[in-house]
């Protein structure tokens, strides 16, 4: 995936809850022009500016939404914690994050945006017995969008990570000649986690003998599970992986080659993934620069949209728009 030259781009994109730009890069690689982005996390914005572009605004979207320029497409991986099984499942009752969908709706109405692309956790489809997602679809339909959605797994698009996410594409009914939109076909996975591991790994990523029993343990009391490490397809990266949870939740690998370099009898030959390995598992480019701490980097990659999946969706959307858009008066200058 390589960025297409600006002069060859025609559809303008505004990005909400951009994070470090996984969704944005996928669209850039597919030929879209991301002209504006926003996130409220200062560390994510720092990483975005160092690796994507300077078109990102730091702040709460509710306070900067009037700054959004004219655009054809609105994209966003809106906060997933209210709908995730790892969270408290408050959904729309989460007044801080659960109601941000309605901010998206307001922006769409104000700008008469032609296409909206939203990403969230798989569980949003089933949250509250399916009522939450049905309401999202109903709200978008009422303001003029035909919606299509599908659960896409990152392992089906070139990276060895099991990561199921819901992608929704809403197309404005009066802007296109057809209501049909097709999501990208699955691709054969040709690499494993072991194929992307770093060649030279620092001692700090290896676990201690003291932690080994916890990491490789079977759990306690009501939470019993068989520990699994050295998975050819990694488990879902999460924002809290820097904390070293049990092996049943996070990814650990046996690394005897790098362990031989360590002169520390308190360490074992099992380690967690490095931030750079997490970068690879999320499809971010090789020239990526880490400008934040490891803790922040783990959080950022755990929260990110897999670039490969975003790219696959964006490519299909580009083809759809080129073939079906009614008017040439898109937002290109």
Number of DSSP helices (H) and strands (E) in the chain, helices first:
11, 12
The three-point CA angle 135-136-139 to 5° equals: 80
- At 116 the three-state DSSP class reads strand
* Confidence at residue 331, expressed as pLDDT on a 0 to 100 scale: 59
Active-site option among 80, 147, 278, 331: 80
- For the chain, 333 residues long, the average pLDDT of each consecutive 10-residue run is 66 98 97 97 98 97 96 89 48 54 95 97 91 94 97 98 98 90 97 98 95 82 81 95 80 97 94 97 98 98 97 98 79 53
Q: Cβ atoms within 10 A of the Cβ of 52, count?
A: 22
What is the rounded CA–CA span in Å between residue 322 and residue 214? 54
Rg (CA), the chain: 21
| Bridge partners (DSSP) listed for residue 15 | 37, 75
3-state class percentages of the chain: helix first, strand second, coil last, to nearest 5: 35, 20, 45
- Could you give the domains of the chain? 6-187+305-324 (3.40.50.150), 199-273 (no CATH)
What is the rounded CA–CA span in Å between residue 330 and residue 333? 9
Burial 276-308 (b: 16+ CB within 10 A, else e): bbbbbbbbbeeebebebeeebbbbbbbbbbbbb
278 is catalytic: no
Residues sharing a CB contact under 8 Å with residue 171, sequence separation 6 or more, in sequence order = 114, 115, 145, 146, 148, 179, 181, 320
* Confidence at residue 66, expressed as pLDDT on a 0 to 100 scale: 96
The pTM is what?
Answer: 0.91
């Amino acid at each position: 995936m390589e960025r297409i030259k600006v002069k060859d781009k025609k559809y303008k994109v505004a990005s909400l809850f951009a994070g470090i730009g996984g969704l944005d890069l996928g669209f850039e690689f597919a030929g879209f022009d991301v002209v504006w982005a926003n996130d409220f996390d200062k560390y994510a914005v720092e990483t975005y500016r160092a690796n994507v572009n300077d078109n990102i605004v730091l702040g709460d979207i509710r306070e900067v939404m009037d700054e959004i320029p004219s655009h054809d497409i609105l994209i966003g991986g809106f906060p997933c914690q209210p709908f995730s099984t790892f969270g408290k499942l408050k959904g729309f009752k989460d007044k801080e994050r659960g109601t941000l969908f309605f901010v998206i709706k307001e922006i769409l109405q104000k700008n008469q945006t032609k296409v909206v692309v939203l990403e969230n956790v798989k569980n949003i489809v089933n949250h509250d017995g399916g009522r939450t997602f049905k309401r999202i679809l109903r709200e978008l339909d009422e303001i003029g969008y035909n919606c299509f959605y599908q659960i896409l797994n990152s392992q089906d698009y070139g990276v060895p990570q099991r990561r199921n996410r819901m992608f929704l594409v809403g197309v404005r009914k009066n802007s296109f000649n057809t209501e049909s939109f097709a999501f990208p076909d699955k691709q054969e996975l040709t690499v494993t986690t072991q194929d992307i591991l770093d060649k030279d790994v620092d001692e700090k990523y290896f676990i201690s003998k003291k932690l080994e029993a916890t990491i490789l343990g079977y759990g306690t009391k009501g939470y019993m599970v068989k520990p699994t490490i050295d998975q050819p397809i990694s488990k879902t990266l999460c924002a809290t992986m820097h904390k070293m949870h049990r092996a049943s939740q996070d990814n650990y690998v046996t690394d005897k080659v790098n362990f031989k370099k360590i002169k520390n009898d308190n360490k074992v030959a099992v380690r967690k993934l490095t931030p750079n390995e997490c970068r690879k598992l999320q499809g971010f480019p090789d020239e990526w620069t880490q400008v934040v701490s490891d803790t922040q980097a783990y959080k950022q990659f755990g929260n990110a949209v897999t670039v490969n999946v975003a790219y696959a969706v964006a490519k299909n959307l580009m083809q759809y728009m080129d073939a079906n858009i009614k008017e040439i008066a898109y937002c290109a200058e």
